Structure 1
């Protein structure tokens, strides 16, 4: 299992933000994206997730190997915690064991019957991240996954990521939080920043709101 990115170029709102980007993400590896606000971390993750087209380059990876966790938690408010996870497990064909493992890993067992609409922001985030565990996907794309989490929940999620890597998974993430991934690599996107017609060659203030 390996993701290979070659000479990738991506754009936001039609404006190029990254170009000439190449890297490899292998089984058991975590790679942390770095760079200033607006450099294109979110845009890169969205492009790799297939949510927007690349301007150029090539991405090679096994079919149906990606799971993407964005800023939104992607929950169905009218379903309970357990029902949300069962919904996603049914889509990915992973079953009851995966649901129970996800509830345990993100400390959601006591909340399994609570409607998602009635969860706190941190609880919603934990449930949103628990969805990763029911996808059965090997490569996780994570965009600021610890937003709204307290220190204890950050530690829980760090353990989840470490277990995923130990099991042969991989993770590409934009985060400024230490998840205890001692062997994680760092990919600084600054050298790959595209020349932009806006603001004399740098991404303008509007775009900087969307990392």
Structure 2
């Protein structure tokens, strides 16, 4: 059983969702919903399945049991879903491409949000002046910021963010919270995994603790 926000459509729904690897349970079964203007913060001990959960929702892994739907349509492995963007713990930039080239590559495949441009996105995440820097020459924190710039450009309603606070200083953590807050303020949503103490986006946030026997998301109003 989960809590849900009244008078809002549900973007993402999971019912009896479970994943097993080599017949060994990783997580589940769990139920949850995410509606517009919400963040679902997924926490739990190392090995509890936080990253695996995001990969299942993103369609990168096949669920073992249950059902997960985005916009009412079932998520199928390998097909992903339009309107969904995944930022993994390893951002997946091409090391030999510059910041601008990486963003052009991403938008060329996934499309670009109306009214956005790469230079402005880089400036918003603190990478002004790094437009022509190869991703392989950037620090871990700068690569994380480049991943955030990519999110700002993609036409996605639901963000799946795996440990977005990792490798960031306090200014970077504040940046992540601001970017998430602006995203959901427009009626979008995010699933965010974290094991740190700094994950506190200033928006309506619920928590799903993997490995907790209750498995009930707790709501924290903005």
Q: Same fold (TM over 0.5)?
A: yes
> Residue 154 of structure 1 is aligned with which of 173, 177, 193?
173
Paired position in structure 2 for 1:104 = 123
TM-score, with length taken from structure 1 = 0.84
**Which shifted more, 64-73 or 95-104?**
95-104
Paired position in structure 1 for 2:150 = 131
**Which shifted more, 89-98 or 133-142?**
89-98
Residues 82-126 of structure 1, C-alpha deviation per residue, up to 9 Å, x if partnerless?
Answer: 111111111122178242342122111211111112111211111
5+ long unaligned stretches in structure 2: 1-9, 72-80, 215-222
Distance of aligned partners of 1:93 and 1:182 in 2 relative to their CA distance in 1, 3 Å threshold: closer
The CA distance in 1 between the partners of 2:120 and 2:189, in whole Å, is 19
- Is the 1:29–1:184 contact (alpha carbons within 8 Å) kept by the matching residues of 2? yes
Paired position in structure 2 for 1:56 = 65
SS of corresponding position for 2:122: helix
What's the RMSD between the two structures over aligned residues?
1.9
The size of the alignment, in residue pairs, is 193
> Residue 7 of structure 1 is aligned with which of 1, 16, 25?
16
- Correspondence 1:112-131 to 2 at 5 A: 112-131=131-150
The CA distance in 2 between the partners of 1:181 and 1:12, in whole Å, is 35
- Is the 1:143–1:174 contact (alpha carbons within 8 Å) kept by the matching residues of 2? yes
Say which structure, 1 or 2, has more relative contact order (CA 8 Å, 6+ apart).
1
The CA distance in 2 between the partners of 1:183 and 1:27, in whole Å, is 10
- Asked if 1:84 is matched to 2:84, the reply is no
Paired position in structure 1 for 2:199 = 178
Shift of 1:9: 1.0
- Asked if 1:30 is matched to 2:39, the reply is yes
SS of corresponding position for 1:180: coil
- Is the 2:38–2:203 contact (alpha carbons within 8 Å) kept by the matching residues of 1? no
- Is the 1:68–1:142 contact (alpha carbons within 8 Å) kept by the matching residues of 2? yes
Distance of aligned partners of 1:109 and 1:22 in 2 relative to their CA distance in 1, 3 Å threshold: same
Paired position in structure 1 for 2:29 = 20
SS of corresponding position for 1:8: strand
The CA distance in 2 between the partners of 1:92 and 1:81, in whole Å, is 17
TM-score, with length taken from structure 2 = 0.80
5+ long unaligned stretches in structure 1: 194-211
- Is the 1:73–1:129 contact (alpha carbons within 8 Å) kept by the matching residues of 2? no
